[in-house]
Amino acid sequence: MKTITFITGNKHKLNEIINIIGDNSMFQIVHRKIDLPEYQGDLEFIVEEKCKSAIRIVNGPVLVEDTSLNITALKGLPGPYIKWFMDAIGAEGLPRIIKDWNDKTATAICMMAFMEHIDGPVHIFRGMIDGKIVHPRGRLDFGWDPCFQPNGYQQTYGEMDYSLKNTISHRFICTTKLKEFLLNYSFN
Amino acid sequence: MKTITFITGNKHKLNEIINIIGDNSMFQIVHRKIDLPEYQGDLEFIVEEKCKSAIRIVNGPVLVEDTSLNITALKGLPGPYIKWFMDAIGAEGLPRIIKDWNDKTATAICMMAFMEHIDGPVHIFRGMIDGKIVHPRGRLDFGWDPCFQPNGYQQTYGEMDYSLKNTISHRFICTTKLKEFLLNYSFN
């Protein structure tokens, strides 16, 4: 069985991915916390460079993830910089920065990048879900979850049972694509 | 006379620096436009890494610059990500993102990094000026200049004559420190 090292320090993300990937006889996900520098730029560039940095350290199959919250009123920002905004202004602050706009829509995006070999290709996966930014409701322990209400639901991510969130989220969609890819992938 | 390559594609920044550095017999500033990737993180880290990337390409004395607009209400953001915000929401959008806060204060920061040799130290310089974010007034051709009114002035950067701006700005303060350093620096 092949081992894929998922680089994260975030238990929530790890648990979401392990729940979705589930048991299989082909590969297992382990995790390792490494502080990888991240570039500024578009999400695809950021996750690709992060993956290349990770494999230079891990020197084996590696998986990285990056999340973006694209607010329509801000033409896609904070986007990949959302984590800095959450650190600075928190869930309470997020609806405030767009208070002066009527359009409250946003898109949550999860990007993952997988490499098996340091000189091999980078495989990139994307999961997206549309929704809107609301005043925080629900659990405050996972970034912007309480501020994001996916279209078609009356609950924010922060109000949903994990069992529901983990079957609809941007990370679920992305991880599902990754899983399909890996189940058909020939490890060397 | 030594040549220092300033990496920028921005004519305004180049002119500001050349105006401030002025004529001297020790060194001259030339410029070159190279798209250097920039990391996310604090401004000192970003400018240091940018300088190291630049010298690997230029292979000679190199100068890089990075600007940050730290809005107090947003606990220092957009900070180094201000250029992405200007691209997205423009000068009109900047006061809107903090409309819901009473505190309109902000600090403009210029950081420069200079290296002579690829294996030598990185010298970092900082210039800061406090002010406030206002609805845009004046020239709209240089990023957030029309939105930033320095303390003690009734004009925004965008309303000031360049001759005034270039003797008070965050970039002026930083460039002055750089100039003092370079005039006492022994090039190898």
Strands A27-32 and A78-79: what pairing?
unpaired
pLDDT score recorded for residue B117: 95
Residues with pLDDT less than 70, chain B: none
Q: Going along B27-152, which residue ranges are E strands?
A: 27-32, 62-71, 78-79, 105-115, 123-133, 148-150
What is the DSSP secondary structure assignment for residue A122, as one 8-state letter? P
Most B-contacting residue of A45, A67, A75 (CB-CB within 10 A), to test interface: A75
pLDDT score recorded for residue A97: 98
Most B-contacting residue of A100, A102, A135 (CB-CB within 10 A), to test interface: A100
* ipTM summary value: 0.91
Q: What is the pLDDT along chain A (188 residues), one digit of tens a residue?
A: 899 999 998 888 888 888 888 778 788 999 999 999 999 999 999 999 999 999 999 999 999 999 999 999 999 999 999 999 999 999 999 999 999 999 999 999 999 999 999 999 999 999 999 999 999 999 988 899 999 999 999 999 999 998 899 899 999 999 999 999 999 999 88
CB A99 to CB B99 under 8 A? yes
Residue B130, beta-bridge partner list: B107
What is the DSSP secondary structure assignment for residue B155, as one 8-state letter? S
pLDDT score recorded for residue A56: 96
3-state secondary structure of A33: coil
Taking an 8 Å Cβ-Cβ cutoff, which residues of chain A contact chain B?
37-41, 49, 74-81, 84-85, 88-89, 93, 96-101
Element (H, E) at A175: helix A170-183
State the smallest CA–CA distance between residue B97 and chain A in angstroms. 4
| Token pair recorded at residue A130 | 């549309």
Residue with tokens 């990370």: A171
Distance (Å, whole) CA A108 – CA A82: 11
pLDDT score recorded for residue B1: 85
CB B75 to CB A88 under 8 A? yes
Whether residue B135 is annotated as binding a ligand: the answer is: no
pLDDT score recorded for residue A151: 98
Strands A2-7 and B78-79: what pairing?
unpaired
- Closest Cα in chain B to A37: B39
The C-alpha angle with vertex B133 and arms to B72 and A92, in degrees rounded to 5, equals: 45
Which chain A residues are Cβ-neighbours of B84 within 8 angstroms?
40, 77, 79, 81
pLDDT score recorded for residue B43: 95
Which chain B residues are Cβ-neighbours of A78 within 8 angstroms?
81
| Token pair recorded at residue B77 | 């953001």
B81 Cβ contact partners less than 8 Å away, ≥ 6 residues apart: A40, A77, A78, A81, A84, B40
Per-residue burial over B80-117, b if 16 or more Cβ lie within 10 Å, else e, is: bbbbbbbebbbbebbbbbbeebeebebbbbbbbbbbbe
Task: Please give the interface size between A and B, counted as residue pairs whose CB atoms are below 8 Å apart.
Answer: 70
Most B-contacting residue of A45, A68, A77, A83 (CB-CB within 10 A), to test interface: A77
**What backbone torsions phi and psi does residue B98 show, to the nearest 5 degrees?**
-115, 20
Taking an 8 Å Cβ-Cβ cutoff, which residues of chain B contact chain A?
37-41, 49, 74-81, 84-85, 88-89, 93, 96-101
